[in-house]
A and B are shown apart, each in its own frame.
Chain A
Amino acid sequence: MEDEGRRSSLPAALIAGTGVGGIGCAVPLLVLAAIFVGRALDRLWGTAPYILLGMLMTSVVVGVAFTISSALSAARAAQSQYLAGRRHISDETERPSGRKAS
């Protein structure tokens, strides 16, 4: 039973890890996209480097906001999972004592 639980929780841990890595990768991807698009627009309109700088700053703000919101939602999910687990454990421990009382 315990082995089965371990088998199911390890892939979940790996998925959680890739999720954490994914959050970290979102910011560089956003920054890269902003740099390429900003540079292309600057070349098109001859406004170098102002559009690039604007897009770089916007991408960092959006990236930081995304990271914080992802981290908070992950924490909320972990907290609800933890609370559900505790509720399950307390149900399990209360059941035998209930039988004894009856």
Chain B
Amino acid sequence: MKNLLKFLMVVAGAALICGLPYALLLNFKVPVVFPHIQLPAEPITGSVHILGVEFFLSNTLLSVLLADLILIVMAVAAGSAARRRLKQYEANPKAVDADGDDLMVPKGWLNTFEAILEYLYNLVETIVGSKWAGSVFPIAGTIFLLVLVANYLHFVPLVDSFGYLHCTEKGFPAKELGNTGIYYLAPEEGNLVFPSPSEAEVACGHGEGEHSPEPGADGTRWSVVPFLRTAATDLNLTFALALVSIVTVQVLGVRKLGFSYFSKFFNLPALSKGFMGWIELIVSWLEIISEFFKTISLSFRLFGNITAGAVLLAVIAFLIPVGAPIVFYLLEVLIGAIQAFIFFMLTTVFVAVAQAGHGDHGHTDEHH
């Protein structure tokens, strides 16, 4: 009972502090507007043409860069802490830290980072063996950490609330916040949440020779294109990661088995078995298709789960802005970690399967 009361007090304190900014926003009549959901990543800067190909910085690419930056800061912080403790230990092996603990015992962030990496490394070692763990872990571990941090960026408050205004007929009027050059979407009186395109006097000027209007101009409607969007909601990222994963699998398969690895795809030695050998050759071609589908399944699994989560959070925050999103945020915390872990595990397991080789099945069959 006492613990429950204590827990409720902690929740009440946190809710009081976190609820204040929200209450202030409502006081300034800034409501939660209908979320703008778009599947392709949106460009946030102008484009550059290199060799006839258009390049631009998209909001998902910026999120990946941000996740990279966070990972680099984490790694540098852990590395410098480890070096500092090691230096102190080398100077005086009997010295202790401020808490009176042995210098070789990692503490704080170094301890957390080491625990995560050690757990992942041990897992890889169990699956592919100690000889190949060193080759698989850097790729699989990096993918895990990148996907995890990129997924969790969605939980950083306000991150996907800011962006540039995009003129659209399914949007809301924009109002300037003082004279700051910062605008916010402000639904009309009596129509607080849903946009009403039928009544809108759309003046976006998408036609030839027309100029885009300024935000705040009468009759124009806008939606926010966020500067940062959850990276895994872009199929380009998940497909790129899946390609890295599958190419790693092939490279490590060849490194272990040599050119006999390709007999999995072109089982020419089986032709000596006559008719059944031809069947085995055709079946081996199916392995090529299966490798392509591994790439597709890896990329679409991550993309689908994270996109569905992002849409769910946006819709729940719009429908029931207070309280309910917390439950779904907790759910997304789990899903973000689970999806990163699944990607990591599948990469490792695919390497183990590729390194087992086609011949190993033959040996197993012979023994049995």
**A residues neighboring B (CB under 8 Å):** 6, 9-10, 13-22, 24-25, 27-28, 31-32, 35-36, 39-40, 43, 49-50, 52-53, 56-57, 60-61, 63-65, 68-69, 72, 76
Contact = CB atoms under 8 A, between A and B. Distances in A.
A28 B156 CA distance: 8
Contact of B10 (A13, A63, A65): A13
Contacts of B12: 14, 17
Nearest to B109: A72
A66 to B, nearest CB: 12
24 contacts: A9-B2, A14-B10, A15-B13, A17-B15, A20-B10, A20-B14, A21-B15, A24-B157, A28-B21, A28-B158, A31-B159, A32-B158, A40-B181, A49-B45, A49-B164, A49-B227, A56-B228, A57-B65, A57-B66, A60-B228, A61-B70, A63-B156, A65-B77, A72-B109
A27 B157 contact: yes
A10 to B, nearest CB: 6
B82 interface: no
Contact of B156 (A14, A16, A27, A39): A27
Interface of B: 2, 5-7, 9-18, 20-21, 44-45, 62, 65-66, 69-70, 73, 77, 108-109, 112, 153, 156-159, 162, 164, 180-182, 227-228
Given A27-B156, A57-B62, A22 B17 contact: yes
Contacts of B15: 17, 21
B253 to A, nearest CB: 37
A19 B297 CA distance: 43
- Chain A at the B interface: mostly helix, strand, loop or mixed? helix
A56 B7 CA distance: 34
B227 A17 contact: no
Given A14-B9, A56-B162, A60-B153, 15 more contacts: A9-B2, A13-B6, A13-B7, A13-B13, A14-B10, A14-B13, A21-B17, A22-B17, A27-B157, A28-B157, A52-B227, A53-B44, A63-B156, A64-B70, A68-B109
